[in-house]
Amino acid sequence: MESEKYIRRQVFDTPPVDPRITEFRAEVKYCPKCGRRIVGPFPENVNQTVQYGDNLKTNALYIKNQIFTSYEKEKTYFIDQHCISISPATIIAFEKNAHTTLNKFEYDLREELIKSSVLNADETGLRVIGERWWLHSIGNEHLTLYAVHPKRGSVATDEMGVLPQYDGVLVHDFWVGYSKYNCTHSYCNAHIMRELNGVWEGYKQNWAKDMIDLYKQIYHYIFIEDKKDPLELEKFRIKYMKIIESGFKENPPPAEKKAGQRGRVKNSKPFNLLVRLRDYEEDILRFMYNSLVPFTNNLAERDVRMMKVQQKISGTFRSIAGAERFCRIRSYISTVRKCGKSVFGALKRLFQGNPYRVQELIGRIVTNLFYLEYTHYY
């Protein structure tokens, strides 16, 4: 009896992982005339009597720098999964190799970031040799540069070699370290919204609620309705200034310092927020007029968020050099991911001596954008 139809069920599984050992043999011969010893060539990347292959090195680097597993847990993984014993020192040697190979990549990354129209910057604390250091991030939609430094301020970002030469738009929070640069500034409105919510919930001041509602209106108009009529934008700006004016009525300046009183007169949190909203109006509302400027600094905050995960899993870096290696490798991984490439494949290219070039990744993005615009136009 013939079947009327088939009922299908599929099982997705991974094959058993067995170590593969490849032995290469080079012939040794002697010239019959002169007696000179001649040895056949080995493959270019086979230069030791016993060594690890590119797939194993890629796995080791991926597990440590993408999944953030500790060295000891990674050692256990290779024993359990691959029946191969690999020491933490060997994994560190792989990282040193990757760090050296990516030297040109990091240099080109800085050069491309300097050319960028908009950059996002942020920083977060991390532990190096048990002490508090700072991880700094500078990037855009396609590129990310990380660096570690004992200082949080502009000394660190100066040494990164991007912002001192940058003349585009820098998106950041109100951390004073960024304000010294001569580029155009744009402030993160997510931070301002949180402060406004704090004023509304903690002080019940109506101007804060009005400003929150205005922010929502502007966001919906620009990013949801995708409109930018100059007259409407000017109405938003005027309303913004009127709300600030009403806020100052609720928060008059503090009384002048009394004779003999030491230190500065303390201002209230609502008053300080109003001063910032007034004095930095152009930078705060820049997203209204420049379509390239985002509403928030979420891009940079996402870039540093995974580093916080690393700290929770692996804890402190045991050396400054280890933290620097991690930052360079993560700069490569983050950039590759943003450009839509496989991280595993990119790390394998790294050990094959052919890492992605920044221009290669950027060129792919530009080509894809051109193709989309071209097909859309016709």
**Can you tell me the mean pLDDT for 293-297?**
98
Contact between 328 and 334 under an 8 Å Cβ cutoff? The reply is no
Phi, psi of 294 (to 5 degrees): -75, 165
Entry pTM: 0.89
Instruction: Give the separation between CA 53 and CA 21, rounded to whole angstroms.
Output: 9
**Per residue in 68-104, pLDDT tens?**
999 999 999 999 999 999 999 999 999 999 999 999 9
At residue 263, the pLDDT reads 64
Q: Which residues of 85-112 are buried (b: 16+ CB within 10 A; e: fewer)?
A: ebeeebbbebbebbbebbeebbebbbeb
Secondary structure (3-state) at 123: strand
Provide the mean pLDDT of the chain.
92
Banded pLDDT at 363 (limits 50, 70, 90): confident
Supply 29's token pair: 């011969």
Q: What percentage of the chain exceeds 70 in pLDDT?
A: 94
Secondary structure (3-state) at 239: helix
Residues 6+ apart with CB under 8 A from 127: 133, 311, 315, 316, 317
Residues 6+ apart with CB under 8 A from 207: 243, 244, 246, 247, 250, 274
Do the strands 118-128 and 37-39 form a parallel or antiparallel pair, or are they unpaired?
unpaired
Do the strands 184-187 and 169-172 form a parallel or antiparallel pair, or are they unpaired?
parallel
Banded pLDDT at 331 (limits 50, 70, 90): very high
Instruction: Give the separation between CA 251 and CA 245, rounded to whole angstroms.
Output: 10
Question: Of 349, 322, 317, which is closest to residue 333 (Cα–Cα)?
Answer: 349
- Give the H or E element holding residue 371: helix 358-377
At residue 267, the pLDDT reads 85
Per-residue DSSP letters for 126-147? EEETTEEEEEEEEE-SS-EEEE
**Per residue in 26-64, pLDDT tens?**
999 999 999 999 999 999 889 999 999 999 999 999 999
**Per residue in 206-236, pLDDT tens?**
999 999 999 999 999 999 999 999 999 999 9
Question: Taking 60 as the threshold, does the pLDDT of residue 376 lie above it?
Answer: no
Instruction: Give the separation between CA 219 and CA 288, rounded to whole angstroms.
Output: 9
At residue 14, the pLDDT reads 86
Contact between 238 and 213 under an 8 Å Cβ cutoff? The reply is no
Secondary structure (3-state) at 368: helix
Per-residue DSSP letters for 184-223? EEEE-HHHHHHHHHHHHHHH--HHHHHHHHHHHHHHIIII
Do the strands 169-172 and 144-149 form a parallel or antiparallel pair, or are they unpaired?
unpaired
Only one residue has tokens 């580029």, namely: 183
Supply 81's token pair: 């999964």
Q: Which phi-psi region, left, alpha or beta, contains residue 234 (left: φ > 0; alpha: ψ -120 to 50)?
A: alpha
Question: Taking 90 as the threshold, does the pLDDT of residue 370 lie above it?
Answer: no
At residue 202, the pLDDT reads 94
Q: Give the residue, 47 or 375, on which the prediction is more confident.
A: 47
**Per residue in 302-324, pLDDT tens?**
999 988 888 888 888 999 999 99
Supply 146's token pair: 């990380």
Question: Of 191, 215, 190, 195, which is closest to residue 205 (Cα–Cα)?
Answer: 195
Residue type, 259: A
Supply 46's token pair: 């086979």
Q: Give the count of beta carbons closer than 10 Å to the beta carbon of residue 254.
A: 12
- Give the H or E element holding residue 79: helix 71-82
